[in-house]
Structure 1
Amino acid sequence: MASRLPRLTAAQAAARLGVKPETLYAYVSRGLLHRERDARGSTFDALDVETFAAGRRRAPVRSSAHPTTGSPLGVVQTDIADIEDGELLFRGRRARDLIDRPFSDVVAWLWDAQRLDAPTPPSAARARWWRPFRRTPAPWIASAPP
Structure 2
Amino acid sequence: YWAMVGVGIACFAVFVVGFVCLVFWATLWVGGLCETDPSYMKRFRFLFYRFRQDRYYWPTIIVTRNLALSLVPFIKVDDIHLKILLFDMVISAALVMQFKFWPWRSHLLNWSEVISQALMLLTTIVSAVFIPRQGELPSGKSAVNALLVFLIITGAM
Under a length normalisation based on structure 2, what TM-score does the superposition of the two structures give? 0.24
Comparing both chains, which one has the higher relative contact order based on Cα–Cα distances under 8 Å and sequence gaps of 6 or more? 2
Which structure has the highest helix share of the two? 2
Q: Which has the larger radius of gyration?
A: 1
TM-score for the superposition, normalised by structure 1:
0.25
